[in-house]
């Protein structure tokens, strides 16, 4: 007898913890505003910023402990206990030196074991890459998904990519900017963000070339840390912060 498919998931976003991943190289105020925005729409319970340990799709230049500590500094500026840092991918890469690049697959699996009310957050620019991620489309089944529209971006392009996933049977459209992942009945939603359109790559280039970086991009505390630790070609004094243990959900 064929196994029955899982039934619809009744989802209350106020019970959901959202994981916002990225290299955070460096973290900036766009990341913080995106986290704050998730607390308003779709009004999740909490947000965790999760720096990647060894991202497979990017050449990582800044040591992971610096990226983690900068992310922690950014989160302190939020003054909101609902916004926190998840260091699991950093710890995994440190505990296994020489290990292959970390991907989101194992992280998604871990998160799904920890809570049924989890959502993974990506920018809409990553939608085109999803079919090329390891173990696609199985990894979509572990959590709900929130796709953020970058401010000033083209939502129609995002919707076009989502329609393509509909065409392959991976997604089913349920309503205005809401889809169901067919195999798991998890939800995928497309949401706008009022976060400023900042780019870590351009910020790194500005720091290396000595161009002034605005406070609207990087707060003073992070700039001080960057200078003290000679990151991105800036002068200063090297310090190595201690990695602390991750807090339970």
Question: What's the whole-number mean pLDDT along residues 236-241?
Answer: 41
Q: Could you tell me what percent of the chain has a pLDDT over 70?
A: 84
Tell me the pTM. 0.86
Burial of 150 (0-12, 13-18, 19+ CB in 10 A): buried
Q: 146: closest CA among 11, 51, 3? A: 11
Q: 10 Å Cβ neighbour count for 16?
A: 23
User: Given this model, what pLDDT does residue 248 score?
Assistant: 55
CB 92 within 8 A of CB 53: yes
Checking if the pLDDT of 111 tops 60, the result is: yes
For the segment 32-57, the average pLDDT, to the nearest whole number, is 89
Q: 234 CB contacts (<8 Å, ≥6 apart)?
A: 207, 226, 227
Per-domain residue ranges for the chain?
13-197
| Interval 221-230: pLDDT, tens | 999 999 999 9
* pLDDT for residue 247: 53
- Assigned architecture for domain 13-197: 3-Layer(aba) Sandwich (3.40)
Q: Which residues contact 90 (CB under 8 A, 6 or more apart)?
A: 51, 53, 64, 65, 67, 68, 243
Confidence band for 99, pLDDT divided at 50, 70 and 90: low
């Amino acid at each position: 007898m064929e196994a029955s498919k899982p039934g619809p998931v009744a989802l209350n976003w106020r019970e959901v913890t959202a994981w916002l991943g990225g290299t955070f190289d460096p973290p900036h105020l766009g990341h913080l505003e995106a986290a704050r925005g998730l607390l308003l729409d779709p009004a999740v319970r909490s947000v965790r910023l999760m720096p990647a340990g060894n991202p497979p799709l990017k050449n990582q230049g800044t040591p992971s402990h610096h990226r983690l500590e900068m992310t922690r500094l950014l989160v302190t500026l939020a003054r909101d206990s609902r916004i926190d840092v998840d260091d699991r991918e950093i710890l995994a890469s440190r505990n296994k030196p020489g290990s292959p690049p970390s991907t989101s697959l194992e992280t998604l699996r871990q998160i799904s074991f920890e809570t049924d009310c989890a959502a993974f957050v990506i920018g809409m620019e990553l939608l085109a890459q999803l079919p090329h991620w390891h173990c696609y489309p199985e990894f979509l089944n572990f959590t709900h998904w929130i796709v953020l529209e970058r401010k000033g971006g083209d939502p129609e392009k995002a919707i076009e990519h989502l329609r393509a996933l509909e065409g392959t049977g991976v997604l089913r459209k349920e309503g205005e900017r809401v889809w169901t992942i067919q195999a798991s009945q998890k939800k995928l939603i497309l949401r706008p963000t009022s976060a400023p359109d900042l780019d870590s790559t351009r910020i790194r280039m500005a720091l290396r070339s000595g161009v002034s970086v605005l406070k609207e991009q990087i707060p003073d505390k992070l700039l001080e840390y960057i200078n003290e630790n000679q990151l991105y070609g800036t002068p200063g004094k090297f310090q190595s912060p201690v990695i602390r243990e991750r807090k339970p959900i």
